[in-house]
Each structure stands twice: as C-alpha cells, then as structure tokens.
Amino acid sequence: MSDLELRALRKSFGSADIIRGVDLAVPAGERHAVIGPNGAGKSTLFNLISGAFPPTSGEVMLGGERISGRPPYEINRRGLSRSFQVTNIFHNMSVYENLRCAVLWSLGYRYTLWRSAAALKDAAERSREVLHLIGLDHARETPAGLLSYADQRALEIGVTIAGGARVILLDEPTAGMSRAETDRAVDLIRRVTEGRTLLIVEHDMGVVFGLADRISVLVYGEVIATGTPAEIRGDPRVREAYLGEEAA
Ligand code: ADP
Ligand code: MG
Ligand code: MG
C-alpha cells in the first residue's frame, strides 16, 4: 500500500491554477524526489500535503486515510512531518530545547503526559538521541539562531524527525550549502530516513540522483514524468522541460 498518495490534486489561488491535477503514489519506505523549475508548485504541493491550506479539489491519503482538509497539527500526529524551504526553528531556544519541544509536541493531545515523570524522561532521552544523530552534542545549549546555516538545517531535520513521524517531507534541505555541507546533509538525510518514507524537493541533481529511489518531475503544476533515476535521466520530455538546465 502507498504510504502517501495524491489523487487528482488541484490548487488555485484566485484565477491562478498552481497545482493542476497531480496523482502520485509513494510506497512505504521509498525515497521520492520532486524536481522541477522554480515556480512549478513544489512548495505548494508540500503545503497541500502538510495541511497548510486545503486543496481546491482532490485528495491526500496518508497510510490509506484521507488527511486533506485536516489541520496541520492533526496531520503531524498521524505521522507526517515536514521541513520548510526557509529554515523554521526557534532561534531563541537552545538546540536541545528545539528538539525536546518537537518530541513533547508529538505527544499532542495527551498533554497531561507532559507532566508525568516517565514521559518527560522518555522525551529527554529521545531528544538526546536525536541530538547525537544530527551531530550537535557539542552545541546542546547553543541558541539555535547562533548556529551556522548548515547546522541550523541539520537541527531542522532533527526537529522534523524527532516526533517519530514515518513520512518525512524535506523542502530544499541543501539549498545554499557548500559541497562539503551538502555531502554532510545527504549523509544525515540518508540516516534519519532509513525505514521511513521520504518526499524531498531538491535542485541539486547530484543529491537527487544519489538519494532518490524514484523521481517525479513537476512542471507548471503537472507531473510530466515519474520514474527511477535512470528513467528520468533518459526521458527526452524531461530533458526538454527541465533537466537540460541543471543536470546536462
Ligand atoms: P516552487 O516551490 O516549485 O518554486 P511554489 O510552490 O513556491 O513553487 O510556487 C508556485 C506558484 O504558486 C508561484 O507562482 C507562486 O507565486 C504561487 N503561490 C504559491 N503560494 C501562493 C499563495 N499562497 N497565494 C498565491 N500564489 C501562491
Ligand atoms: Mg522555488
Ligand atoms: Mg519551493
């Protein structure tokens, strides 16, 4: 069964049709990249999936359950978590507190659990685990806003997975990074998405072709091709519409 499925998804803003009938099925455990030119609607697609706003028509299914129309916090608690194109962390909180907050938040409506000693101990342990996973043990008490850009992005990935979501959406996680920073980010993404379902938007074709099991190409709100990296690379329609620019 598909972990994440988009069915005839459409989104218009006023008279602008931005997402124009997208069908996409991502099986559990797949790493799926969405590529396409600027303004194609990639971030809008993520906003529709994560519940930032409802689709004009069509459906988003998570683990066979319809989630479109539900608010973001509910979708998050059903097991889907995302990062943003513009880094979204609490700058005035420490690295550790950012993670702990994400873990506690995932307990959600079981709010009273926050006060149980056992739950707080579990949350602390999980936060330390993620801190270690993202390689920021040394920066535990550093205000997140003082981290380097690459470390802020690593923290954001940590926050995204800290609550235990099984479907992860990452929006341009390596944009603006050096080669070395990109390599580190890819290694982190690979480790934290092991056994999870990943939908990733990326412009760096080295990252996309190295990481993705399958790729969908979005152009002006339509998926013009879905396939393995080899299929996408060899598809003349894709070359013409997009890839020529970035991965020749
Ligand atoms: P991408 O992430 O592929 O670069 P976006 O999804 O950010 O593209 O944007 C696709 C198009 O949708 C752009 O033309 C953008 O201006 C438009 N758009 C995105 N969000 C809104 C919104 N809330 N209201 C109006 N237009 C929007
Ligand atoms: Mg863009
Ligand atoms: Mg975008």
The pLDDT score that the predictor gives to residue 108 is 64
In tens, the pLDDT along 155-200 reads 999 999 999 999 999 999 999 999 999 999 999 999 999 999 999 9
Q: Six-digit token pair at 200?
A: 């990733």
Residue 226 to residue 174: CA distance in whole angstroms: 22
CA atoms 184, 186, 189, 192: torsion sign: negative
The pLDDT score that the predictor gives to residue 47 is 98
What's this model's pTM, rounded to 2 decimal places? 0.94
pLDDT at 115 over 70: no
- Ligand 1 first shell, C-beta below 6 A: 13, 18, 36, 38-44
Alpha carbon 111 to chain centroid distance?
25
Residue 46 to residue 172: CA distance in whole angstroms: 11
DSSP bridge pairs for 24: 6
The pLDDT score that the predictor gives to residue 109 is 52
Cα→Cα distances 175→20, 170, 183, 184, Å: 26, 11, 12, 13
- The predicted model gives 67-87 an average pLDDT of 93
Task: List residues, by chain if needed, whose CB lies under 5 Å from ion ligand 2.
Answer: 38
Ligand 1 atom closest to 36 (CA): 3
**Domain assignments of the chain as residue spans, ordered by start:** 4-247
pLDDT at 114 over 70: no
Q: Residue type at 214?
A: R
Ligand 1 atom closest to 171 (CA): 2
Q: Six-digit token pair at 76?
A: 């998050």
- The predicted model gives 3-8 an average pLDDT of 97
State percent of the chain over pLDDT 90. Answer: 83
Give, for 111, the enclosing helix (H) or strand (E). Answer: none
Q: Six-digit token pair at 6?
A: 């988009």
pLDDT at 124 over 60: yes
Ligand 2 centroid vs 100 CA: distance in angstroms?
Answer: 30
Residue 80 to residue 63: CA distance in whole angstroms: 10
- For 4-247, CATH gives 3.40.50.300
The pLDDT score that the predictor gives to residue 248 is 42
In the block, residue with structure tokens 């993520």:
46
DSSP bridge pairs for 214: 32
Proximal ligand: closest to the CA of 85: 3
- The predicted model gives 51-61 an average pLDDT of 97
Ligand 3 centroid vs 123 CA: distance in angstroms?
Answer: 32
Round the average pLDDT of the chain to a whole number and report it.
Answer: 93
The pLDDT score that the predictor gives to residue 117 is 79
- The predicted model gives 18-34 an average pLDDT of 98
Residue 44 to residue 221: CA distance in whole angstroms: 9
